[in-house]
Amino acid sequence: MNELDRLRDVERWMAWIRLGGVAFALFQLGVLRDEYPEGYDVGVWITTAVLAVAAAVLWLLSRRDLSTREARVIGLTALVTDTAVVSAYVLLHAFQEGSLLAMLLIVPLVEGAIRYGFRGGIGVPIVFVPVLVAFELLRDHHLGTSFDADNVTFPLGVLLLAGLIVAWLVERLWRQTAVAEERAAEAELLRDQLGRRVDVLEAAGRCARALGSSLELDEAFNAFIRELRAVVPFDRTAIVLAEGGSAQVMAAAGLGSDVVFPAGTHRPLAASVMQEVLRGETVYRDDMSDAAYPEEQDLLGLGLRCRVAAPLLAGARSIGMISVLRTEPRSFDEEEVELLTLLGRFVATAVQNIRAYDAERTTVEELRRLSALRADFVSLVSHELRSPMATVIGSARTLQARWRELQPDQRDSFLALIADETNRLATLIADVLDTSRIEAGTFNYVFDDVDLAELVREVAAAAEVGQDEVPVRATVADVVPTIRADRERLRQVLANLVENAVKYSPSGGTVEVRTTAVNGQVIVGVRDQGSGIAAEDQSLIFEKFGRARSGKTLPGTGLGLFIARSIAEAHGGTLEVRSAPGEGATFTLALPG
């Protein structure tokens, strides 16, 4: 109970007591109306009238909605009035021998103690000292007794003792009430806190269930966003996972999510907020204007100023973070930060399940793709083997059956055909064996000093001699350093690139082979004028059995470029392609100089 409520209660209670006092006074006047000395009855009636008017006014005031200051003023006025009325009654009845009316002094004494505690319990008896003195003097005047100081000091002592007892009880009651109210307030606060925590737990649980409602990332993340926005409004949010030495954005939504750090983005962990989050700590950036982390500069460019990054905890290990941002600085309160921290614990399992499902699905799709490629390869190899074998067998049987009938030049043609088809078979078998060795890690290399410029000229010359439809031009820079490499393996790479360029170039087109030295690397570029390679096929052609699915399709196993790139990487280099449909293709071999 606060002070104002206490003052109002006291005032209303005393108002009723005061009205009862008026009735009692009227009763006493009726009983003693013939006993008063001359003039005293007028004083008693005036005092009673004052009491009645004061009681009525104070009763009406106690019904009003008083302020603390008004209640204090009215309370003091009421105590003064009651003390004056009681004192008047006591003095007006001093003529009675053995009068008990002095006992009325206890009423304002109790009222003062109730209103003011020890101040009232001590102050009111002190105020009564002149009343007690005047009472004793009036007794001496009316009854002819001599002034006795004990009749002043003894009542005063009794009043003081009574005032102290009542004041102590009142003060104790106040203290107990204050303690009870404090405990009630604490209990209410704890109840509110418990209610808020329950709400937080329920909200976090709803968000976690939404994220775990589906193993499809987009569907699960959309459901999660709907729940999260209902409990923690945001302008942007993202789920970021720690992958090796980088932070990968698993999902993002909101302001600039398709432009700045969209889903699938990888960023280095060094100096990023993710480093702190991975320690299991929630990071609250109330204002990112100072851009304490590298990524915050880009987020500030979107107008985002406030950020909470909570760890995704799988057990005791942090696997990433949930990041929630707003445009207004210092816009997250403690409850929202607590909710996001709790949410990070709840959703980590769902995130792991989705990631595991994605990984398994990717693995299954890759296995299916490889299975399809293997099936295509078996079909392709069967065809590639059947055709030259049929040619070799047919030519050999023709020579065996009609050797004497054939002219020498016809015999030579059949023998040359057998040799060519046998070479095709040998090449096919060699590619399959090389692929197996590469996968098994038994593909051997013999490194030595190699003049790459000379090797490029040899390969280009051999390719031009072997056919006459597509010219092959080799351009070598003035200074090309000698490199450490396996000459025959590099010849295999270059021959494959040039032969592919010739094969896919139209008759009359030109294949250009350029060799340069740039920034400590030797670069060999092979450019054709073929139909080009679609963007979606440019990574496929370097895989085992991979072949372009669009454009010009020619016989082949799909192993040549896989072997070529493997050899390039074994030399510490790279093999890349740049192409577009209708614009030809340029294969670039880069080797350390």
Tokens of 154: 């003894």
Cβ 291 vs Cβ 320: under 8 Å: no
**Could you tell me the pLDDT band of residue 551, with boundaries at 50, 70 and 90?**
low
In a domain, 19, yes or no: yes
Distances (CA, A) of 75 to 21, 118, 152, 169: 17, 16, 28, 20
In a domain, 17, yes or no: yes
Domain match, 339 and 463 both: no
The amino acid occupying position 455 is L
**Could you tell me the pLDDT band of residue 550, with boundaries at 50, 70 and 90?**
low
Domain match, 55 and 177 both: yes
Domain match, 488 and 587 both: yes
* CA–CA separation, 548 and 533 (whole Å): 7
- 161 contact partners, CB below 8 Å, separation of at least 6: none
In a domain, 408, yes or no: no
Domain match, 323 and 468 both: no
Q: What is the mean pLDDT of residues 190-211?
A: 72
pLDDT at 303: 92
* CA–CA separation, 242 and 321 (whole Å): 8
Give how far the C-alpha of residue 438 lies from the chain's centroid of Cα atoms, to the nearest Å. Answer: 46
Q: What is the pLDDT of residues 25-60, one digit of tens each?
A: 777 776 655 566 666 777 778 888 888 888 888 888
Cβ-based neighbour number of residue 317 at 10 Å: 12
CA angle 222, 225, 227 (to 5 degrees): 115
Tokens of 161: 């003792």
Q: Is residue 315 left, alpha or beta, with left meaning phi > 0 and alpha meaning psi from -120 to 50?
A: left
Q: What is the pLDDT of residues 396-412, one digit of tens each?
A: 888 788 887 778 888 78
Give, for 515, the enclosing helix (H) or strand (E): strand 511-518
* CA–CA separation, 382 and 377 (whole Å): 8
pLDDT at 548: 67
Per-residue pLDDT for 328 more than 90? yes
Q: What is the mean pLDDT of residues 193-211?
A: 70
Domain match, 262 and 164 both: no
* CA–CA separation, 8 and 5 (whole Å): 5
In a domain, 363, yes or no: no
In a domain, 204, yes or no: no
In a domain, 579, yes or no: yes
pLDDT at 145: 72
Tell which of 306, 330, 356 closes a domain: 356
* CA–CA separation, 25 and 19 (whole Å): 10
Handedness of CA 460, 461, 467, 472 (dihedral sign): positive
Domain match, 245 and 338 both: yes
The amino acid occupying position 493 is V
**CA nearest 124: which of 52, 62, 76?**
76
Domain match, 319 and 266 both: yes
Domain match, 478 and 571 both: yes
In a domain, 256, yes or no: yes
Q: What is the DSSP string of 95-156?
A: TSTT--GGGGGHHHHHHHHHHHTHHHHHHHHHHTHHHHHHHHHHHHHHH-PPP-THHHHHHH
* CA–CA separation, 64 and 57 (whole Å): 11
- Average pLDDT of the chain to the nearest whole number: 81
DSSP label at residue 540: G
Q: Residue 268 maps to which CATH number?
A: 3.30.450.40
User: Could you tell me which residue, 20 or 36, shows the higher pLDDT?
Assistant: 20
**Could you tell me the pLDDT band of residue 524, with boundaries at 50, 70 and 90?**
very high
pLDDT at 36: 65
Domain match, 162 and 235 both: no
* CA–CA separation, 318 and 311 (whole Å): 6
Domain match, 141 and 222 both: no
Q: What is the DSSP string of 257-312?
A: TTTSS-TT-EEE-TTSHHHHHTTT--EEES-GGG--STTHHHHHHTT--EEEEEEE
Per-residue pLDDT for 227 more than 90? no
Tell which of 168, 184, 200 closes a domain: 184
**CA nearest 167: which of 119, 129, 105?**
119
Distances (CA, A) of 433 to 377, 492, 494: 14, 14, 19
In a domain, 432, yes or no: no
Percent of the chain with pLDDT strictly greater than 90: 7
Domain match, 152 and 21 both: yes
Domain match, 265 and 310 both: yes
Tell which of 356, 374, 401 closes a domain: 356
Least confident of 84-98, 392-406, 477-491, 519-533: 84-98
Based on the structure, what is the number of domains in the chain?
3
Strand duo 472-476 + 511-518: pairing: parallel
pLDDT at 549: 60
Give, for 575, the enclosing helix (H) or strand (E): strand 574-579
Domain region containing 544:
448-592
